[in-house]
Amino acid sequence: MITDKESSYHYFLKLFKVHGPIVKVKYPGQPVLVLISRPEDAEKILKLTQDNPVRNEMEALKMARYINPFYEKKAGIVTENGEEWWRVRSKVQAPVLKPKNVHNYLKDVDQVTLDFLDRISTLRNSEGEVTVDFLEELNKWSLECICLVALNQRVGCFDPNLSPDSEPTLIIKAAIDFMNAFKECESGLKLWKIFPSKIFRQLQDSMQKLTETCETVVQRMESDMQKRAHDPDCQLNLVEQLLQEPGLSHKDVITFMVDLIPGGTNTTSDNAAVLLYLLAKNPRVQTKVQEELDYVLGNGSGNVTAHQLAQLSYTKAVLKECNRLMPPMFGPMRILQEDILLGRYILQKGWSVLLMNACSGWDERQFPRCNEFLPERWLRHRPFGNIHPCASIPFSHGTRMCVGRRIAEQELYTLMARTLHRYNLEWKHGDMERTFMHVFSPKGPLRFTLTERKRKQWSSPQAAIGLRLLSQ
């Protein structure tokens, strides 16, 4: 089942097999790198660095921001460390991770997902196979979803008549160009440090377009907030809440919005592609998800609610198992700010420590039958044994955890729920391949087959209760 072990994975796994769970490596011109495979050791590193979790700075993005006068040498929470990172992170994390704020976007996310499926239904051949690159369509879906949060509006990604120079098309292009340039700049030889390479200029140009878009939105929001200032029933959206947060400037908020758009587009669509692929390849799991959805959603009329999502125990377990089996990245990194004793080894200040979470997810000692797609292992009764809390952390951990985690999870649950409630999924091609540039991304084009399904009608309350007990 594990099909994305690129040569780098083989190399790291071999290192652990030969040298043990803690491996020190040194590449020319690079600081010492320590690789850790055991979740117990990862937990210790995370605890010891929790007060000042420093990671690699995303140098290309930092340079692009520092040479742009708008940003005033402040690069945002994606790339900053130390006091400047915490100044912004401490202000944005509570509003962005607050469940109520995330749920406020669920109705619109649900509608975007329904519109996406309506569009996909028209792009199938007579056998139900989608005839365009499914990953490109997922990029449009995830961008449309994240713009509900970042821009408080829909941008029209599904409009079949978009012209190449239309605003939605330019935003779509900027978001995708930004992430592609970011990943390429942070990988390989980094020639942009010597001269402004083509890919670095792409990063700058796409960032500028997103900056201008977000600045226009912020100006409009600030004007609207002044008009509603004396309305006692006024409800602020997420960005408006951030604009009123003491200690955050409107440029801080714009920087956060700019990062949120591309960061919430490609990563979420890549995750969605892997999720749907594993469901299509595992009919048994797909059927169990559909049974749960039929029970919770009924005929699917009306919008999906937060209460309904909360009941989807097995569906949520599927996402966890997906991120274990085909993780989005190697794992979180920390740059040590002091010497640390780990077992019988002293890890020195300045060394980089890579918590190889992907490898622990493929470890038979951590996950029995680790090559199999078994969402049941994440259910409350843990049928395959207890799971260490740091054995699979695809969104990282602690204060450096992905700040958009709950937004992304809500989108993915909604996509899974609506897709499998309406369709049966099939994958009739070879194993999915993924490339690695900073994160793992599926290699397109992707071809899914979607056929309409007949929903299950529960014959008795007892049958439905049996399903709920199974999913606890």
Question: How many Cβ atoms are within 10 Å of 345's Cβ, its own excluded?
Answer: 12
Burial class (CB in 10 A: 0-12, 13-18, 19+), 212: middle
State the pLDDT at residue 458.
Answer: 60
* Ordered DSSP codes for 219-282: HHHHHHHHHTTT-TT----HHHHHHTSTT--HHHHHHHHHHHHHHTTHHHHHHHHHHHHHHHH-
Whether residue 472 contacts residue 44, with contact meaning beta carbons closer than 8 Å, is answered with no
> Residue ranges of the domains in the chain?
7-470
- The span from the CA of 54 to the CA of 83, in Å, is 11
Closest alpha carbon to 112 in 149, 158, 161, 152 = 158
State the pLDDT at residue 442.
Answer: 92
Closest alpha carbon to 404 in 266, 310, 273, 214 = 266
Whether residue 254 contacts residue 124, with contact meaning beta carbons closer than 8 Å, is answered with no
- Work out the end-to-end distance of the chain between its first and last CA atoms, rounded to an integer number of angstroms: 26
**CA dist 415 to 144, 410, 466, Å?**
13, 9, 25
Task: Tell which CATH classification among 3.90.1150.10, 2.40.50.100, 3.40.30.10, 1.10.630.10 matches the domain 7-470.
Answer: 1.10.630.10
Q: What angle do CA 115, 224, 158 make, to 5 degrees?
A: 15
pLDDT per residue of the chain (472 residues) written in tens, 0 to 9: 434 434 566 788 888 989 999 999 988 888 899 999 999 999 999 999 999 999 988 999 999 999 999 999 999 999 999 999 999 999 999 999 999 999 999 999 999 999 999 999 999 999 999 999 999 999 999 999 999 999 999 999 998 888 888 888 899 899 989 999 998 898 878 899 999 899 999 999 999 999 999 999 999 999 999 988 888 778 899 999 999 999 999 999 999 999 999 999 989 999 999 999 999 999 999 999 999 999 999 999 999 999 999 999 999 999 999 999 999 999 999 999 999 999 899 999 999 999 998 899 999 999 999 999 999 999 999 999 999 999 999 999 999 999 999 999 999 999 999 999 999 999 999 999 988 877 888 987 899 999 999 877 765 444 444 455 455 4
State the pLDDT at residue 151.
Answer: 95
- The span from the CA of 405 to the CA of 411, in Å, is 10
State the pLDDT at residue 469.
Answer: 47
State the pLDDT at residue 145.
Answer: 97
Whether residue 466 contacts residue 145, with contact meaning beta carbons closer than 8 Å, is answered with no
- The span from the CA of 317 to the CA of 414, in Å, is 14
